[in-house]
Amino acid sequence: GAVVSQHPSWVICKSGTSVKIECRSLDFQATTMFWYRQFPKQSLMLMATSNEGSKATYEQGVEKDKFLINHASLTLSTLTVTSAHPEDSSFYICCGTRAGANVLTFGAGSRLTVL
């Protein structure tokens, strides 16, 4: 079945640094990649939707300059949290889907802790 590899699975960084999270679709071409954020004991909050080769579409309230999303190829999408602060600490999950399939394949998630 379709697999999305997400890494790092766990990252701790100092306040003010930038962190990049990568998601790779291993056996399918992810024409669309969704990026979600999940707070403890809550459901997933959609941050942005990115289509390969296009600029990401951000949900209301999500700062596009803080959460940089790149989807330069059909198998790789990245989320960079710039100048991270403790309030950015969260669980970030990517999800890929291929054109016409309408089926979600999730990465394993990345837990970010900002000190």
Asked if 32 and 45 touch (Cβ cutoff 8 Å), the reply is: no
Interaction between residue 3 and another protein (CB under 8 A): no
Asked if 18 and 87 touch (Cβ cutoff 8 Å), the reply is: no
Interaction between residue 34 and another protein (CB under 8 A): yes
Residue 4, amino acid: V
Which CB atom, from 44 or from 68, has the smaller least distance to another protein? 44
Binding to another protein (CB under 8 A) within 12-31 occurs at none
**CA–CA distance, 104 with 46 (Å, rounded to integer):** 13
Applying CB under 8 A, the residues found at the interface with another protein are: 6, 34, 41-44, 46, 49, 91, 93, 95, 102-109, 111
